[in-house]
Amino acid sequence: MAGTRFQLLSVFSRQFSSLNNVSTVQPKLRIDDIRRRRLTIFDKEYKRQQALIPRLEKIEVNYEGLDNEAITLVMNKGVSTPYNCAQHINEQLLKRSVVAEINGELWDMHRPISSDCTLKLLHMKQEDQHQATQVNKAFWRSCSFLLGAVVESSFQDEISVCLHSFPPANVRSGSFVYDVQLNLEDWVPTQNDFRQIAASFQKFVRQDHVFQRLDVDSSVALSMFEDNAFKSEQIPHIATKSSTGRTITVYRVGDHIDISRGPMIASSSLVGRCSIAAIHKLSPKFYRFQGVALPSEIHINHFAFGILESRARKLLDIAVWSSNGEEE
């Protein structure tokens, strides 16, 4: 929401030598205005879809927990979510659940359930290797999404910021990534820049924003992102790969909206210690922001986290995504 917006990065003001000789172009709209317009479209579409639910129908959700725990819940079709189910089970399960499995399919915690199903709730310390990999990917993907939110809102209005895309979640890479176009030819960020971006990231995730998913028609998505040439190019291509050939999945976190197939973690508060490890210049005006983070329930000492930071500074061997956005 607009009220949760933070303004921290004086580092990008004109006082810094890295920007003294930069020729900037005033963007057509301020980021605040762009976000408000996207939120208006998102809220309107969400309300339209909710109005299509004629009446509440009941469904059975069979929860499968540890030690053969089995609970049958009667929930509301198209309204109740895995998060709502967890609320009916116990508070500890609610707090540590990262994503869900619905009939074996990975599912967002705040995504409505559409039919009778079997439900599993997954956390960051899954013993099953496949489930652990899927949870880690959701965590890494969500961190990339959050990084885009922070970067987009970090620069002053005279510096235009255009989010391009983030690559598929790859835990082995050591870092999560977002590629961004800035109208800065030769920006060389300082250590203070890194610290302040990390502080902004940390402040944002601690505000406990939920990841709200919405599947929309590609025409709605194009309207949302008409100010972003990269997203406008990616949307038709992504839509063709959906089951309908026209659907785009968008997520809202706070006042930020972006494209991703998901799934995402339940809340930003599940992200713990984090750092902005590197900002690589890919080409004129194109920069790759790389970060590293730990889940909130995992704690390591300063030395060990420093090793992770060092690993995360390496430029990932991936191309700038020209047509697909985030894709797997």
- What domains are defined for the chain? 2-46+139-312 (3.30.980.10), 58-123 (3.10.20.30)
pTM for the model: 0.87
Residue 119 has pLDDT above 70, yes or no: yes
Which of 30-34, 96-100, 239-243, 314-318 has the weakest average pLDDT? 314-318
Structure tokens at 326: 């985030």
Q: What is the pLDDT of residue 317?
A: 63
Residue 150, pLDDT > 80, answer: yes
pLDDT, average across residues 102-117 = 97
Q: Report pLDDT for 7.
A: 37
Mean local confidence (pLDDT), 237-245: 94
- The share of the chain scoring above pLDDT 70, in percent, equals 87
Count of residues in the chain: 328
Q: Which of 126-135, 189-198, 251-260 has the lowest mean pLDDT?
A: 189-198
Distances 145 to 58, 59, 316 between C-alpha atoms, Å: 34, 32, 17
Give me the mean pLDDT over the 175-197 stretch.
89
Question: How far is residue 284's CA from residue 315's CA, in Å, rounded to a whole number?
Answer: 16
At residue 287, the 3 state secondary structure works out as strand
Judged on CB neighbours under 10 Å (0-12, 13-18, 19+), 135 is buried
Whether residue 46 has pLDDT greater than 90: yes
Per DSSP (E only), the strands in 23-69 are: 58-64
